[in-house]
A = this chain, B = another copy of it.
Amino acid sequence: MVRILFPGSRIWDVSFIPLRPGSLSGPVAERSDAARNRERLLEAARKLVEECGADGLTMDRLAERAGVGKGTVFRRFGSRAGLMMTLLSDAEADFQGRFMFGPPPLGPGAPGLDRLIAFGAERIAFVLEYGDLARAADASIRNRFEVPAVVLWHRHIEFLLREEGMEADPWLMALSLSAILDPERLLYAVRVHGVTPERLAESWRELVTRVIRGS
User: Which residues of A does B touch, CB under 8 Å?
Assistant: 143, 145-146, 168-169, 172-173, 175-176, 179-180, 182, 184-185, 188-189, 192, 195, 199-200, 202-204, 206-207, 209-215
Contact = CB atoms under 8 A, between A and B. Distances in A.
Contacts of A173: 203, 206-207
Contacts of A168: 203, 206
A172 B215 CA distance: 22
Contact of A179 (B143, B185, B209): B185
B188 A145 contact: yes
B189 A180 contact: no
A200 to B, nearest CB: 7
B145 A206 contact: no
A212 B211 CA distance: 9
A154 B179 CA distance: 15
Contacts of A195: 172
B169 A199 contact: yes
Contacts of A192: 143, 145-146
A166 B113 CA distance: 21
Given A172-B199, A175-B189, 16 more contacts: A146-B192, A168-B206, A169-B202, A169-B206, A172-B203, A175-B185, A176-B207, A179-B180, A179-B185, A180-B180, A207-B211, A210-B210, A210-B212, A210-B214, A211-B214, A214-B215
10 contacts: A146-B192, A168-B203, A168-B206, A172-B200, A173-B206, A176-B207, A179-B179, A207-B211, A210-B214, A214-B214
Contacts of A211: 207, 210-211, 214
